[in-house]
Chain A
Amino acid sequence: MQARLLLVEDDERIRQALGLALADEGCDVVEAASGEEALGRLGTTPVDVVLLDLMLPGMDGLDVCRTLRDRGDLPIIIVSARTDTADVIEGLEAGADDYVTKPLVASELAARIRALLRRRHGTGEPRRSLRVGDVEIIPDEDVVRRAGREVHLTRTEFRLLVELAAAEGRVVTREELLKRVWGYDYFGDTRLLDVHIRRLRRKVERDPDEPECVVTVRGRGYKAGTPG
């Protein structure tokens, strides 16, 4: 699988080194040194995944992330030296699918990219539609409807909902969700999951503060709410 990546990174040395190493991992790398340049490149070159640094000159990485998210569900991985919880949450809230912290090696990044793209392309086999409360999921059409109206989810949110719905009310632990949705090895960092669950709830729940579809099971994980 030859994935085309857009690497948005202002530090030239990091950009070069990561570019070389990712090319070694079998990726086709397009580089951009700023947010503006990145958005410009995207207008002309179709890419599969965006790797986004947060500290960029001019347009901030978070703004780039939000802009891209508004345009569609192009997978975004934030690659940042900021490790504080607040930064991670902010980045994910801006719409990123994943958040990795520097220093990181290309092989790890490649594994995450592959997982993200698997999420995007699906497994290929036809799947039956699922239902959680008044939310209907049709995996083959990548469509989610709540009370008949279509809800737009990112690929990550979609996979998360499918995993929960497929468990049919059984508890799915946080670790299982991380592994199945993000695909890479358990990372111990569940801020990723927390923010995505929150985002998902905002889209599918009638009242995100009183979730009925995505229910927390204290100390264990999550489950799909029982319909009705």
Chain B
Amino acid sequence: MVRIVRLTLRRRVAAAFGLASLVVTGVLAAATWNLAGDYMLDQREMSAVRQAEVNVRLVDQALRTGADGLDDLLSGLTSDSESTVLVSRPEGWITSGRRVDPAALPPPLVSLASSGVADTERIVVDRVPVLAVALPASVRPDVYIELFPLVELERTMGFLGLVLASGVAASGLLGFALGAWTGRRALRPLTELTTAASRMAGGDMRARLPDYADRDLAALASAFNDTAEALEARVRQDARFAGDVSHELRSPLTTMANAAAVLRRRRGELAGTARQALDLLLSEVDRFERMVVDLLEISRHDLASDETGAGGTTTELVDLGELVRMVLDVRRCTPAVIEIEQPAPLVQGDRRRLDRIVANLLDNADRYAGGAVRVAVLHCDGRARLEVDDAGPGVAPHLRERVFERFARGDQAGQRGQDGGSGLGLALVAQHVRAHHGTVRIEDRPGGGARFVVELPTAEG
């Protein structure tokens, strides 16, 4: 299959310029070459014919006065030039000058002249281009033929051709260069547009195009800027909405959680069905709370990346070993193996989010695999590596990507309600890891179970 390689716009402009100038100068050069060639050949022919006519008269005289002086005359005629003179007489050819085999002459030329018609023709004799002038002598059927070499003319034409060809080539190149330059100049606004668009794609909502004096460009710029403005307003609106939602959800949750705490304390005062219902209510309030908090966190992340653009980032240098130790400490979680390489890797990041990554991975191990059995913080190829191992059933290869999606739940999909998780824990891990330019993946733990591996870029210094 042939793949058509499409050139970039700039290249195409350059190619078009190059091609156009090549065609124009090529046509001009061809015309020049033809005209000049024809003109020079005409001139040469006229002078040759004139000389031949003079010469034939001399030969005629010599023929009339007797053949004695003919040889001398002929050698005299050819001594100062490169030409060849052939005289056809009934008894045979008399030649003088550069040796030429009369048989090499085209027969029509000779027969035409012997019938009394003068003729000129460009021919090649012995690989030398010549102008053959055949004139009938006054004594029939004698024919006077003189061959004028055209080497000089050919050389001149060759030189002219060379000059013209190089001129065409040069103008083609120049056209290409001009096209490239013009293209770049003309497309500069497009480059700016690209830069602005990619800045916006990168999350910088304040990217705008400058005002152009050119009317065409001004229209493009204002269209782009309007779009950007609308997008920015929309993003800000969404962020405000998320903020409002956050506030509106947090308030009733606070009431619910605290009322639930009061009820939980008095659970013993209830009996039978009421207590069962209360237990259900309390566990669902807990789950609901976790889910709302995680949801708000996930949507807050979208806001936070905005914040980062505005310079409100909260990153700092974090000792990952210390951080992991503190999280384990707070959770009173004691895996069999805690492996923290010294000195522990330093990471430039948001402590709260890094904390959340570790906590959620431990949560996940608790919830689905009976708890973490090993937690390690290592250096690995210039990156910081966090490993959380569990001895659970492991994660099937086809689910290893999916478990990081929102509300994905491994093989227990559809069996919600058993675990009390929000379904967002690992999605938050993935999101926070991404925000730190890191990666998270699941491997097999040697000896069974899953190993969650988080790799983060280490801070220099």
Contact = CB atoms under 8 A, between A and B. Distances in A.
Interface of A: 11, 13-14, 16-18, 20-21, 24, 55, 81-86, 101-107, 173-175, 185-186, 188-191, 218-220
Nearest to B351: A190
Interface stretch (B199-207, B256-264, B372-380, B439-447): B256-264
Nearest to B252: A13
Contacts of B359: 188
A81 B243 CA distance: 10
A204 B302 CA distance: 39
Interface of B: 243, 246-247, 250-259, 261-262, 265, 289, 292-293, 296, 300, 303, 307, 312, 314, 316-319, 322-323, 326-327, 329-330, 346, 351-352, 354-356, 359, 459, 461
A103 B250 contact: yes
B76 to A, nearest CB: 108
A83 B246 contact: yes
B319 A101 contact: no
A219 B359 CA distance: 21
**Most interface-central of B252, B257, B312, B346 (chain A CB within 10 A):** B257
B318 A219 contact: yes
Given A14-B254, A103-B257, A103-B292, 20 more contacts: A11-B251, A14-B255, A17-B258, A17-B259, A21-B261, A21-B262, A24-B265, A83-B300, A84-B243, A86-B307, A102-B251, A103-B256, A103-B293, A104-B257, A105-B258, A106-B261, A174-B351, A186-B327, A188-B354, A218-B461
Nearest to A79: B254
22 contacts: A14-B255, A17-B255, A18-B255, A18-B258, A20-B259, A21-B258, A21-B259, A21-B262, A81-B251, A83-B246, A85-B312, A86-B307, A101-B250, A102-B253, A103-B292, A106-B261, A107-B261, A174-B351, A185-B330, A186-B329, A188-B352, A188-B354
A116 to B, nearest CB: 19
A62 to B, nearest CB: 16
A92 to B, nearest CB: 13
B314 A191 contact: yes
Contacts of A84: 243, 303, 307
Given A102-B253, A185-B330, A81 B246 contact: yes
Nearest first, the 8 closest Cβ-Cβ pairs linking A and B are: A188-B355, A219-B317, A103-B253, A17-B258, A21-B258, A81-B250, A102-B250, A102-B254
A13 B254 CA distance: 9
Nearest to A174: B351
A100 to B, nearest CB: 10
A85 B257 contact: no
Contacts of A191: 314
**Most interface-central of B254, B261, B300, B326 (chain A CB within 10 A):** B254
A17 B255 CA distance: 5
B351 A219 contact: no
A175 B251 contact: no
A83 B303 CA distance: 11
Contact of B352 (A17, A81, A173, A189): A189
Given A17-B259, A102-B253, A81 B247 contact: yes
Contacts of A107: 261
A17 B258 CA distance: 5
Contact of A103 (B262, B289, B351): B289
A102 B250 CA distance: 6
Contacts of B354: 188
A219 B255 contact: no
Contacts of B258: 14, 17-18, 20-21, 105-106
Contacts of A188: 327, 351-352, 354-356, 359
**Most interface-central of A55, A105, A107, A189 (chain B CB within 10 A):** A105
B254 A104 contact: yes
Contacts of A173: 319, 322
Contacts of A218: 317, 461
Contact of B346 (A24, A55, A219): A219
Contacts of B355: 188
Contacts of B322: 173, 175, 220
Contacts of A219: 317-319, 346, 459
A101 B293 CA distance: 11
A79 to B, nearest CB: 8
